[in-house]
Structure 1
Amino acid sequence: MNLHQLRFVREAVRQNFNLTEAAKALFTSQPGVSKAIIELEEELGVDIFTRHGKRIRGLTEPGRAVLKSVELIMQEIDGLKRIGKEYAAQDSGSFTIATTHTQARYALPKVVQAFMQRYPKVRLSLLQGNPKQIAEMVMRDQADLAIATEAIAGIDGLVSMPCYQWEHVVVVPPEHPLLKLKSITLEEIAHYPLITYDGAFAGRSKIDHAFEIRNLKPDILLEAIDADVIKTYVELGMGVGVIAGMAYDAERDKNLRSIPVGHLFGMNVSRVAVKNGAYLRSYIYTFIELLTPTLNRKLIDQVMQGGKDTYDL
């Protein structure tokens, strides 16, 4: 048994049981991958994959158990490599963050700037997607950590920790009738066409739930993944926008006014998530601490070892 065989098994699954694509991903030949997998099956005495002719189609029941062990072994191997690299170069390396557009555009710039000033030799990359996509990026080792709202909490294989709270705001043109009200209600918002986030982003589920429990059916005119897009159409007078509070800046958005609506849609919590059992380089701890001062290395390790995130934001 060798590491090449384990890598081949893992990559075959990742490539949807296509050995040709697995071979390409690992820069080797398809016959070599096939032979190595057969040799591993012979050594273990079980079939890892179901087959139709020479093609593999899926995992057998013992194959699923083998894959779990393979993932753990390869994760440990990756951890050993990272330990070596960190001790060889404490202040350099690569660091990939998977996050949503809202976080990348509005919440992270100052944190990233402070981080890069402290670690100028670290190559930092930002990958964007919806919460499901960025969670998958971390699970597939394409990113070191994910940052999004509550949507990434409770995903098997990830450890997530709360970072900071935020609320939605309604954005409208300067002379909009809603600005004259002392206290805004859902019923009053529902009188106007609504422009807000796509269902996978920025607490949209809370917006929908708030209207639902009041038996209101707002006219959703437009859905977008980008708060800047939402604000653009609000400026054109096409409707009322509901965006994350962090996405509104009075100085920058001079053609808009905002109304806090946390009392209507509830508070949201952005979270940072890492792969369960991942080895975190020292500068990743630093980044998380810059992101949220309530977290430190001791608390992060406690949560990753199975402790509850009992700290207050």
Structure 2
Amino acid sequence: MNLHQLRFVREAVRQNYNLTDAAKSLFTSQPGVSKAIIELEEELGVDIFTRHGKRIRGLTEPGRLVLQSVELIMQEIESLKRIGKEYAAHDSGSFTIATTHTQARYMLPKVVQAFMQKYPKVRLSLLQGNPKQIADMVKSDQADLAIATEAITTIDGLITLPAYQWEHVVVAPPEHPLFKSRAISLEEIASYPIITYDAAFAGRSKIDHAFGLRSLKPDVLLEAIDADVIKTYVELGMGIGIIAGMAFDAERDRGLRAIPVGHLFGMNTSRVAIKQGAYLRSYVYTFIELLTPTLNRKMVESAMRGGDNYEL
């Protein structure tokens, strides 16, 4: 059984059972069409067409069922061709990124800008959520890839690759006593009310882990998913903030100062997550390379073939 046979059956019906017209429509010979149909009938063990002599006149009862299946198969073939055309168009199409607020707000703008300059015909969409939500978006094909720091390395069905590293900073008004310390400690940080990320976001697990190792119980006054919200309440004098270093800009955040605290809470790695077995268009590889120059298409494809998380 092959696609030519199925095409011949469908075209014979479309041409009102005239095999000569069917052959012309498909740019082949009438004897070839007739032979292919007979071979398909022999393979299936049923007559697809009723005949009068050598001429076909209509469909048999099993032939009607065969035609229904043929139509479904040919529809799927057409769908595959459309997919192929879309993916073959290297400079156009759609591209959806699922990510957290911190990545979307602070890390991605310059990358997205550079990407859109290279691929102005690509329709780019950003979806936001917590790490589990954005991982599910990739698994359910709502998004092509996800970018997050927490939780995505342990989710089945995803391949993750390291994008970049960053550290937390403590932020407070310039006159805050912390800035008089020569070497800030966890004990000093824990002595003030803290405003930081929700447990699912931006390396919060490392913050909690560091305090736990020293048996410290910090007063976490407020949790948020947005560093701008954290900074707003810090500026009001409600406490000190612990945020991702990428979220602090000395020019923009003039009412605050920042102290890097990677030595206390450790470094964080934001990762790109891709669905196992996904077919990535060429411009998705380009986006990954713009996001992190340490990765290239060969590395990404190798990780996907290996079916495991990739480490630098």
TM-score range, shorter chain: 0.7 to 0.9
Residue pairs, 1:207-286, within 5 angstroms? 207-286=207-286
CA distance in 2 between counterparts of 1:264 and 1:187 reads 11
CA distance in 2 between counterparts of 1:82 and 1:149 reads 32
CA distance in 1 between counterparts of 2:266 and 2:80 reads 39
Query: 3-state SS of the aligned residue for 2:272?
Result: strand
CA contact (8 A) 2:303 2:310 kept: no
Q: Tell me the CA shift for residue 83 of structure 1.
A: 3.3
TM norm structure 2: 0.73
Sort the Cα spacing of 1:194 and 1:133 in 2 relative to 1 into closer, same or farther, 3 A: same
Q: Aligned residues: percent identity?
A: 76
Match of 1:83 in 2: 84
CA distance in 2 between counterparts of 1:111 and 1:266 reads 25
Match of 1:298 in 2: 298
1:72-109 Cα shifts (integer Å, max 9, x gaps): xxxxx99875433121x221110000000000000000
Match of 2:171 in 1: 171
CA contact (8 A) 1:98 1:138 kept: yes
1:22-61 Cα shifts (integer Å, max 9, x gaps): xxxxxxxxxxxxxxxxxxxxxxxxxxxxxxxxxxxxxxxx
Residue pairs, 1:31-42, within 5 angstroms? none
CA contact (8 A) 2:99 2:129 kept: yes
1:246-297 Cα shifts (integer Å, max 9, x gaps): 0000011000000000011000000001100000000000000000001111
1:194-239 Cα shifts (integer Å, max 9, x gaps): 0000000001011011111111100010000000000000000100
Which of these two proteins has the greater Rg computed from alpha carbons?
2
Sort the Cα spacing of 1:215 and 1:86 in 2 relative to 1 into closer, same or farther, 3 A: same
Query: 3-state SS of the aligned residue for 1:216?
Result: coil
- Report the AA paired with residue 283 of structure 1: Y
CA distance in 1 between counterparts of 2:220 and 2:166 reads 23
CA contact (8 A) 1:194 1:220 kept: yes
Sort the Cα spacing of 1:121 and 1:310 in 2 relative to 1 into closer, same or farther, 3 A: closer
CA distance in 1 between counterparts of 2:84 and 2:222 reads 47
CA distance in 2 between counterparts of 1:217 and 1:173 reads 23
Residue pairs, 1:10-159, within 5 angstroms? 82-87=83-88, 89-159=89-159
CA distance in 2 between counterparts of 1:253 and 1:81 reads 49
| Number of positions where the alignment pairs a residue of Structure 1 with one of Structure 2 | 235
CA contact (8 A) 2:159 2:308 kept: no
CA contact (8 A) 1:153 1:160 kept: yes
TM norm structure 1: 0.73
Match of 2:7 in 1: none
CA distance in 1 between counterparts of 2:286 and 2:82 reads 20
Query: 3-state SS of the aligned residue for 1:305?
Result: helix
CA distance in 2 between counterparts of 1:162 and 1:81 reads 33
CA distance in 1 between counterparts of 2:84 and 2:202 reads 35
Q: Tell me the CA shift for residue 151 of structure 1.
A: 1.5
CA contact (8 A) 2:150 2:200 kept: no
CA distance in 1 between counterparts of 2:293 and 2:80 reads 26
CA distance in 2 between counterparts of 1:78 and 1:298 reads 29
CA contact (8 A) 1:294 1:311 kept: no
Match of 2:205 in 1: 205
CA distance in 2 between counterparts of 1:274 and 1:307 reads 10
Q: Tell me the CA shift for residue 172 of structure 1.
A: 0.5
Q: Which runs of 5+ in 2 are unaligned?
A: 1-77
- Report the AA paired with residue 208 of structure 1: D
Query: 3-state SS of the aligned residue for 2:300?
Result: helix
CA distance in 2 between counterparts of 1:277 and 1:206 reads 31
CA contact (8 A) 2:159 2:309 kept: no
CA distance in 1 between counterparts of 2:80 and 2:205 reads 36
Match of 2:41 in 1: none
Q: Which runs of 5+ in 1 are unaligned?
A: 1-76
CA contact (8 A) 1:169 1:244 kept: yes
